[in-house]
């Protein structure tokens, strides 16, 4: 890789990805809502996304979006339809689906028009409609399902611009970060990954991707997840 961009670089997985790429001597730039100046990017503010994209001086051959929202303040995943709330559903969609789509709008055109390049977005297995056996978590499931559809649609369009470009969703598993911390009690110890380990696993999956994989969703082992 000649140039990488990690969006959500202030979070656990994002920061670990920046570090892992730097250790491999890959030039990498981290963007985040909490960063100032040219490295500031807020998923809910398209102007900040456009400004961050305008500050990119070299065509990136890897862009990884690591942001996600599962709980916020007193709000968390809905256990039943009685807990459905319009504002919380819209907030889930804004961060987990709409924001990534706007990032793609501004960053995919910056990527090379020829040769292999990867635009990867962290998604989740719970966004799989076919894999939903437990119910609940309405907003997060639905927003991630929407994200998976957006990834598929973006991949189709991007293929027309560069037939070797890869647009994918990646499921990192359960990672010991603030996003998953309230829900780790029932996770087996060998299935709870540190952020550093998750970053290496994700980069291994990215390295093995081929052009026909574009538009699909893969877990941390490189196994495809059915939408």
Domain boundaries, the chain: 4-219
Residue 106 makes CB contacts below 8 A (sequence gap 6+) with: 46, 49, 50, 52, 53
pLDDT score recorded for residue 68? 94
Q: What is the mean pLDDT of residues 10-16?
A: 96
Task: Report yes or no: 58 and 110 within 8 Å, Cβ to Cβ.
Answer: no
* Cα 135 to Cα 194: distance, rounded to the nearest angstrom: 27
pLDDT score recorded for residue 191? 77
pLDDT score recorded for residue 134? 93
pLDDT tens for residues 30-62? 999 999 999 999 999 999 999 999 999 999 999
**What Rg, from alpha-carbon coordinates, does the chain have?**
17
pLDDT tens for residues 200-215? 999 999 999 999 999 9
Instruction: Work out the pLDDT band at 184, boundaries 50, 70, 90.
Output: low
Mean pLDDT over the full length of the chain:
95
pLDDT score recorded for residue 43? 97
Q: Which residue has the higher pLDDT, 149 or 181?
A: 149
pLDDT score recorded for residue 73? 93
**CA torsion through residues 176, 61, 93, 73, sign:** positive
Instruction: Work out the pLDDT band at 192, boundaries 50, 70, 90.
Output: confident
Top CATH class of 4-219 equals: alpha beta
pLDDT tens for residues 109-144? 999 999 999 999 999 999 999 999 999 999 999 999
| pLDDT of residue 163 exceeding 90 | yes
Task: Report yes or no: 70 and 140 within 8 Å, Cβ to Cβ.
Answer: yes
Q: What is the mean pLDDT of residues 89-114?
A: 98
Tell which residue, 104, 116, 123, 214, has the closest CA to residue 168.
214
- CA 125 vs. chain centroid, Å, equals 12
How many DSSP H helices and E strands does the chain contain? 6, 8
pLDDT score recorded for residue 174? 87
Percent of the residues in the chain that have a pLDDT greater than 90, as a whole number:
88
* Cα 78 to Cα 197: distance, rounded to the nearest angstrom: 29
* Cα 113 to Cα 105: distance, rounded to the nearest angstrom: 15
Helix 12-23 × helix 195-208 angle, to 10° = 60
Instruction: Work out the pLDDT band at 97, boundaries 50, 70, 90.
Output: very high
pTM of the shown model: 0.94
């Amino acid at each position: 890789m000649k140039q990488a961009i990690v969006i959500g670089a202030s979070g656990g997985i994002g920061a670990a990805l920046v570090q892992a790429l730097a250790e491999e001597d890959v030039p990498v730039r981290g963007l985040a809502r909490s960063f100032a100046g040219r490295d500031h990017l807020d998923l809910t503010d398209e102007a900040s996304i456009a400004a961050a994209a305008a500050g990119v001086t070299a065509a990136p051959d890897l862009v990884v979006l690591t942001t996600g929202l599962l709980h916020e303040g007193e709000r968390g995943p809905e256990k039943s339809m009685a807990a459905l709330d319009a504002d919380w559903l819209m907030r889930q969609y804004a961060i987990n689906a709409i924001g990534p789509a706007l990032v793609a709008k501004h960053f995919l055109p910056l990527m090379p028009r020829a040769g292999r390049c990867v635009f990867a977005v962290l998604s989740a297995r719970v966004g799989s409609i076919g894999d939903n056996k437990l119910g609940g978590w309405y907003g997060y499931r639905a927003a991630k399902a929407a994200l998976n559809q957006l990834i598929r649609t973006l991949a189709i369009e991007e293929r027309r611009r560069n037939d070797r470009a890869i647009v994918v969703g990646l499921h990192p598993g359960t990672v010991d970060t603030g996003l998953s911390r309230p829900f780790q009690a029932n996770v087996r110890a060998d299935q709870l990954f540190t952020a550093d380990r998750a970053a290496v696993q994700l980069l291994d999956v990215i390295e093995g991707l081929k052009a026909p994989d574009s538009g699909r969703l893969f877990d941390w082992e490189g196994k495809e997840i059915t939408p």
